[in-house]
Structure formats: structure tokens, C-alpha cells
Structure 1
């Protein structure tokens, strides 16, 4: 990385060199803009969040980084296995079925993040590590921006260079005070545009706007460790080494099992703070068992964090089976991570990645949303510089793009939590009525019925959205999808289109008619009360196994349409108009155009 001093002025300043910051910086530098990136840490540095989704390939391709990542040697991720119910088999989502280049990776984040930062530098970004921005200065506010953005346009940043920072430092400070301490040898850089990618610390959101809010419905604690010598999921099959996700048997949360290329497996448990506290109290009051009930450990299992972690894993029998005789390395924990902001852009500034919002580890949306924000910031800054729209219009587009993608993934994640906890989730305040309408306006007639729709989203409508989206995780297999496709072969294009995730959503009436045309009795959805109580092997409930399977396949494909454009590519940027504008993703002419 460059060792020279930062310039006195730059066209665009990116603060933070994680995936969001590196992505935005690389995209803008490839457009010929002058970009400086300041990162407080020295890479490589540790970070959790190893599992990626297929859209990442398409994002990387746009900035010319796909081959670098593909050839690096990260663990291949052909799909993912998810088990909601211990009485059901797991469901499996096959990424490769949608195309050979649709697979993803499980990555060691220290290596992945460094690869992206180095790529940004190779694109022409001036990268300065160990360079910590401590404060910002603003010009007087513009009358063009109303509401929250009364700060004015940011025009300069104060920073310090800390040679003592090394790669063992925390990946992201948990509060802004850790960023802002120590300005004895501070310098200043001026800029035209600011992109805040400061991660959880959140320079703009927590220190200046103060608009961060914790999602009450996802107040969780995650505890995780890394294991050696574990088993492999579905060894010898096309699903080999896919990650495994599992609901805890006590309905308090879920667990992950993610194999990595370095011989380690990331194994974590996520549960509500309330359940975590209850378990901790129970453990402190209980008499220790006379003999060990977990794999042998090279670390002190008497430590409270390790003990709580191992105790929680007992509620994930599938994960415990995959761990087998594995050996555990030190354990980590974090809490209160799910949050969002009411605003992600304003005059001359954009907020991206964890600096603005983070949902939950489930569904591996973190890097996707980081890249979404990064590309949106690059697109709207480029549009503003090139005069393709006003800066106010560009900022509004970024706000809506980030909020829309965030809300879609939030609803999908909450639908899964409704299953984990086997109860309804009061999340209307977390989702937001306006946000839901932007993200799911096309879904409302399908789940509610056009004649029943009111002007605002209701709590019951949100629960229906959860019940619709949770079908994304139904326990179907790729083989069953192929059998259903064979059954539909030779039928009309409308019927065959039911299995095409790129087609529009299909309402319940149409699905019922198709089932009747196939001489199959349509039945009520399995997820009628937020809890899948049926086993795929049940044969005494009056429903034929083949009919149930076909219905589950139809519902799963239909639910996948909700986030297909987000999950599997970047086409939504060019297809989904926001405020009458769509992105133009053409290198050398990146920006916004009229829809």
C-alpha cells in the first residue's frame, strides 16, 4: 500500500477499507475520478461473516475483481442447507442450478477484505492504512436538503496516522470514541464527496446524524468459534462442503456451520439476549456434570464464554454431529448488532455497509448489502459529478436503494426468525411502513388481495409477508425441483413459468388453478401459524406426498422471486426505477438515467 502522505485535497474521500469502502472506491476510480481511501487498521485484520451469496460474483465482475477472488482458493459454496424443524429433513438451496457461475464462496474475511483493498489500490485508489479519521467539518446547510440533513455539506476531515496499529487490532471499533481519540498530530484533507464506510462505529450515523436505531425484534447475541478436524456436509455429493444452518431445538435461535479453505470451520450460535441471559443464569446455578459431554478442547472449557457456547451448541444436534471429534480454538462473542438508520445520504455524502445498517448473520446478507451500498454510492456520486441529476436527486436515489435492499433482506430474515421462535414477531416498527411499501409494493396484492389493501401496511399484512417469504427455506431438494420440472414438461408456457424465478410473482389463485390442471389437489400452506408442524414423511394428514412436494416447490420458487434480483445479481440496479431513475452500469459512463 502507498506509504506517502495523503494529499491535501481529493475529489472523493472514502473512510473505511472494508468490503463496502473498497468496493465503492474501486468503482469510482475505474471511472477516472480521484479517490482517497483512509483505513484505521492495518490489513489483514480479523472479521467474522464468512459466508457469501451468489450476487457477490456479479458485483465483483463489475469492478473487475471476480477472477482474483475465484482463483484465490476460497472454499466453494455450491448452495446452503437449512433445517428449521428437527422432525423434518433439511431444505437445500442449489446455487449452481441457476448457472455454473452462480456459486459463491465461504471466505476467510481477513484475506478476502485484504484482497478487495489491494484491488482498489490496483484500480487507482490512493489507499492509506493506519490512517484514522477523527472528525469532519461541514459547510452551511443547503436549502435543497430538508429534514434530517441539516448538517450541511462535509468539506474536510481531520485524521491521524497511527503507526502502532497492527493487524491484530479490532476489525471495527464498536463506538465512535475509539476512532476519535488522540488528535495530537492531526492533519486535514478536503474533499468534494464523502463516503462513510466506517463499519459498526458509524462516523456519520452515530456521531453527527445520531439516527441509528437498534432493531428490537433482533436483539440477539452471537457466540462463535473455529474448529479443526470437523466432518463435511454431504460428502461425495454435489452438495459437498455446503454450509449448514439449523434452528435450535429450544426455539431460542439458530446455529451455523461454515467450512473455510484454511482447514477451519466457523461454528456459531445466535440467540435472543433474553434467552442468552436465562441460560447463563441457569448455568451459574447448576451443578457441573461429573464427566465431559463435548469434544475434547485444547483451551480452558471452564471459561464462562466457552461454557455458554458449548452449552448452546447442544441445542443444535445437526451441528454437533458435523463437529464430531473436532477441536475448538478460542471463542468470540458480540451483541446488539442489528440496526439501521433513517437516512443514508445527503449533500455530498453517502453512508454504506455496516456504517449505516446491519441485519443479522442469517442469510449471509452482510457482504451483499455492503456491495449494494458501495455500488449505489459510486453510481450516485458519479451521476452527481456528471450532472445527470441534481445532488439532491442522487442522494435520494441512494437512500431508497439502500433502504429497499435492506428491507427486503430484513423481512426474509424476520420470516426465518418467526419459524425459529415459533411465534409471530412484532416488527412493524423495525421494518417501517414506507420502507415496506418501497421494497414490497409488488408483493402486497399477492399476499393481501388487491381489494383488501389499505393505504398503509398493517401488522397482519407484515405477518402474511413473513409467512410468504419463509417458503424460501422450505425443505425441498434439487432433485424434487427437477422432478416437478419434468412433470411440467410439455405444458403451456404459463405453467412451466411457475418454476422460473425470473418471472413475476404468482398469486395463490393462479397456483391453485395450475395444481388443478395437473389433477393435483391444492392444499393450505404449511406455514399457517409461523411454525412448520408437518414432516415431509407424514402420510396420514389427508394429503398426498407428491402433492405436498409440488406445492412446496411452487411456493419456494415464488418466494425466491421476492429477492432474486438482489440475491443472484445486480440487474435490479438497471431495472428497478427509484424516483424515475435507474442505474447505468457501464464502465466509463456509470451513473443514473431516466427510466
Structure 2
């Protein structure tokens, strides 16, 4: 690469080319801004967070990215099937309280993320792969990034604003000492992709499976069907509950599958052809979502837990909120970052947090596995699980913690049939 070709200045620098970075880049290009995306890795690259929520479709459409995704031959998703022992409870996203799309996709993130960033690039964003941000300084009118490339080159990039969309890399939280411990217990995930060879005619590939371990409700598994007969399979729990010790990852994950009747049946003929990977201590938080000439998007700011697939949805919504305020800021207009970004984003994060916490303390599991849920309430829950966690007209968003607690008390403790 010719050093003279390296970027030296831009209106907005975006760190990371994942979904929030691509959405932010596309939205900012719509508003006419010069955008430079810096991505440490080269695409396509592996990532988890493969089961999207329907609300994502609204944001992708607004960013002009939906058509490319629709043409990507991804597996349609219209809901979630929860299983515990011999019990199953299905949430259909098409039958929900909040208006909006009721279907989405289950995606191999390597291909999905690549499609998004290619579309953002077609819309005029500069995209640089193999570029790592090592330092940042901010001033009243601009920020300066110190960047290195995987070709052993170094340069500085001056930007009028910086958006951190670096995901688990959490670049600015590390560089600006914004890290704050999550109040969730430390959990870990073990996961892989397999050729599932599922032959059961009753199996619905348009729904993610979320499976509760029959002996320990603090452990759960996901099965995310992809197109072309493959799926993502993973287990989540606290290390002390998983009790993996020195076991090899593959037989450990297979034993977890075999402990869950539904998964054992579906995956009886699966071909386990990809190494099992870990993700540990993934929950994270920060002291502030924004500062002078920067803001944090998605997982770079906060990540809760994979159980309800909220990560990409929160990331895209944060991009939508932030880009509107970046536009105002750069045009010299009043931009209330606390009210219209931090507080607005927190509405959905706190809603998801309620139901994630309720899953692990079993109160939300009691609701999900109850045989006597009012259909109107079921639609309200379906809307949240479909990603519409910012719809405060939904009572289970507006006062989520109090209402979930009351609902769980009405449903009573779920019991497996004996």
C-alpha cells in the first residue's frame, strides 16, 4: 500500500466494520458526510450474534441496506421455540403487540457483515481493513486517532467525530479508561457450526431454539438454523455450573446437547465438522456512552447476554440514534447526547436487562414455560423478544421489572411433568 494513499482527515471516523459500523456509515453517507471506517480484521471473518430480531429490518431499510440482505439467501426467522425437558413454548414474532416487521433472518455473520460493509462502501464510505486504532486524543473541534496497519505502517487520522463500533474489541473504552464492571455474573459460551442433518419433518427452521438444561435452569443452549442445512449450536452458563474443568470442548458440547431431549433428537445425525470456540466474560459496561467528539455504539458500549439475541439490535439502534446527533453536532446545531442518545438507548437496554436477569433467576422462564399465559400479554412479550424494546406504549417495556415480577408470581414456578 502506498503511504500517500492512507487517510489523513475525515468528517467521521468509525472504528469497526460490524453491523453498527456499517449502519452508521450508510446513514451518515445519506446525510452527505465523509466517512472513514477502520477495521482491524479482514472480512469475511467469523463472529457470533447470528440470530437477528425483526426490529433490525426497520433500521436496515432506513440505512438502505435491506435489499442487499434480502438478496443474501439467509434463513428466514419468525420466532423462537423454547424447550425444557419434554415441554415446548413457541413465541411467534408475527403475532406481537408492536407494529413493524415480524420476520428477520438467521445469518452466518461472516457473510452478513461482509454484505453490509460492502454496501456501505458502495454508498461512498471509505473502508480500511487491517487498520488498528492505538490511541486517541480529543479537542473541542476534532479528535485525532493514531492508527497502525498490518503492513507495519503508522499514520494519524483527524476526524470531526469518532464512533466506536468495535464490538468486543471495545477500543475507546480501553483507550479512554471507560470500562466498568457488568453487574451480571461472569458467564461463558462454548459454540460451533455444524452440518445438522435434521430430518424431523416437524422441525421449523424459521425459529431459533432456546433450550433450558433439565437439571440446571441456569444453563441454556441455542440452536440457530442457517440456510443450506447448517446451524450454530452453543451452550451458556457460569463456569461453576458448566463444570467443564479440563474436558475437551467438542465432547463437552456434545454431552450438553445429549442432555436436552429435543436437541438430542434433532442432532442425532449431525456432522460436527468445525472446532468448538469459547467466549468468556462477555458482559460489559462503561462509565459513559459519549464524550467530547466521540460516542460508543453497540457492544463497544455495553453487552448484556446472548440469550435473547439483543446484541445486534442494540448495536443497530445505537447507530441510528448516534448518527442523527452526529449530523446535528457537525452542523453546529444543538444536540442533547444525554437525552437523545444515552437515555434513549438505555430504555431498550434496561428492558432487555430485565428479561435477561429474569431468565437467569428463572422468573422469566416461569413465564415462558407457563401453560396459562394471557394471549394479549403473550403478544407484549413477543414484541420485546422481536426487538421492539423501545416501545414504551408496551406495558412490559414501560415498567418492565415490576410487571415481570407480578406476572411471574401469577404464573407460579414452572415444573417439569413427571
Show the counterpart of 1:250: 215
Aligned counterparts of 2:338 and 2:44: Cα–Cα separation in 1: 32
- Any idea what the Cα deviations from partners look like across 1:200-243, whole Å, max 9, x if unmatched? 121221221233313343x111111222143267637xx45422
Distance 1:525 1:353, change over 3 A: closer
More strand by share: 2
CA contact (8 A) 1:233 1:240 kept: no
Q: Find out whether 1:212 has 2:162 as its counterpart.
A: no
Matches within 5 A, 1:453-464: none
Show the counterpart of 2:313: 368
| Number of aligned residue pairs | 392
- Any idea what the Cα deviations from partners look like across 1:429-471, whole Å, max 9, x if unmatched? xxxxxxxxxxxxxxxxxxxxxxxxxxxxxxxxxxxxxx4x667
Show the counterpart of 2:229: 263
CA contact (8 A) 1:38 1:127 kept: yes
Q: Which residue of 344, 359, 374 maps to 1:416?
A: 359
Q: Which residue of 159, 165, 180 maps to 1:191?
A: 159
Distance 1:474 1:233, change over 3 A: farther
Displacement of 1:15 in angstroms is 0.9
Q: After TM superposition, what 4+ stretches of structure 1 lie above 4 angstroms from structure 2?
A: 98-101, 469-472, 474-478, 501-504, 524-530
Show the counterpart of 1:453: none
Distance 1:232 1:205, change over 3 A: farther
Show the counterpart of 2:382: none
Aligned counterparts of 2:248 and 2:205: Cα–Cα separation in 1: 34
Structure whose CA Rg is larger: 1
Q: In angstroms, what is the RMSD of aligned CA positions? A: 3.1
- Residue 362 of structure 1 aligns to a residue whose secondary structure is coil
- Residue 395 of structure 2 aligns to a residue whose secondary structure is coil
- Residue 235 of structure 2 aligns to a residue whose secondary structure is strand
Aligned counterparts of 1:502 and 1:199: Cα–Cα separation in 2: 27
Aligned counterparts of 2:149 and 2:63: Cα–Cα separation in 1: 29
Show the counterpart of 2:401: none
Q: Which residue of 301, 317, 325 maps to 2:261?
A: 317
- Residue 288 of structure 2 aligns to a residue whose secondary structure is coil
Matches within 5 A, 1:258-297: 258-276=224-242, 279-281=243-245
Aligned counterparts of 2:412 and 2:180: Cα–Cα separation in 1: 29
Q: Find out whether 1:65 has 2:65 as its counterpart.
A: yes
- Any idea what the Cα deviations from partners look like across 1:343-392, whole Å, max 9, x if unmatched? 110121100111111111111111101101111210111122234414xx
Show the counterpart of 2:327: 382
Matches within 5 A, 1:131-142: 131-139=131-139
Show the counterpart of 2:384: none
CA contact (8 A) 2:321 2:341 kept: yes
Aligned counterparts of 1:3 and 1:384: Cα–Cα separation in 2: 31
Aligned counterparts of 1:116 and 1:412: Cα–Cα separation in 2: 29
Q: Which residue of 290, 297, 300 maps to 1:355?
A: 300
Distance 1:232 1:67, change over 3 A: farther
Distance 1:65 1:471, change over 3 A: farther
Distance 1:60 1:397, change over 3 A: same
TM-score using structure 1 length: 0.61
- Any idea what the Cα deviations from partners look like across 1:505-561, whole Å, max 9, x if unmatched? 39xxxxxxxxxxxxxxxxx956569731376xx9xxxxxxxxxxxxxxxxxxxxxxx
Show the counterpart of 1:235: 202
Show the counterpart of 2:368: 473
- Residue 214 of structure 1 aligns to a residue whose secondary structure is coil
Show the counterpart of 1:93: 91
Displacement of 1:111 in angstroms is 0.5
Q: Find out whether 1:160 has 2:104 as its counterpart.
A: no
Displacement of 1:3 in angstroms is 11
CA contact (8 A) 1:233 1:243 kept: no
Distance 1:271 1:416, change over 3 A: same
- Any idea what the Cα deviations from partners look like across 1:386-415, whole Å, max 9, x if unmatched? 34414xx22553222233221211111111
- Any idea what the Cα deviations from partners look like across 1:71-123, whole Å, max 9, x if unmatched? 2110011211012x425x31111123358942011001000000110111122
Aligned counterparts of 1:328 and 1:229: Cα–Cα separation in 2: 8
Matches within 5 A, 1:545-556: none
Q: Find out whether 1:333 has 2:278 as its counterpart.
A: yes
CA contact (8 A) 1:49 1:366 kept: yes
Show the counterpart of 1:402: 345
Matches within 5 A, 1:434-449: none
Aligned counterparts of 1:48 and 1:530: Cα–Cα separation in 2: 34
Distance 1:194 1:250, change over 3 A: same
Aligned counterparts of 1:472 and 1:368: Cα–Cα separation in 2: 23
- Residue 347 of structure 2 aligns to a residue whose secondary structure is helix
CA contact (8 A) 1:193 1:348 kept: yes
Aligned counterparts of 1:86 and 1:109: Cα–Cα separation in 2: 30
CA contact (8 A) 1:15 1:195 kept: yes
Q: Find out whether 1:120 has 2:64 as its counterpart.
A: no
Matches within 5 A, 1:498-509: 504-505=394-395
Displacement of 1:64 in angstroms is 1.1
Runs (5+) with no aligned partner, structure 1: 143-152, 164-183, 285-302, 420-466, 486-500, 507-523, 539-595
TM-score using structure 2 length: 0.85
Distance 1:19 1:477, change over 3 A: farther
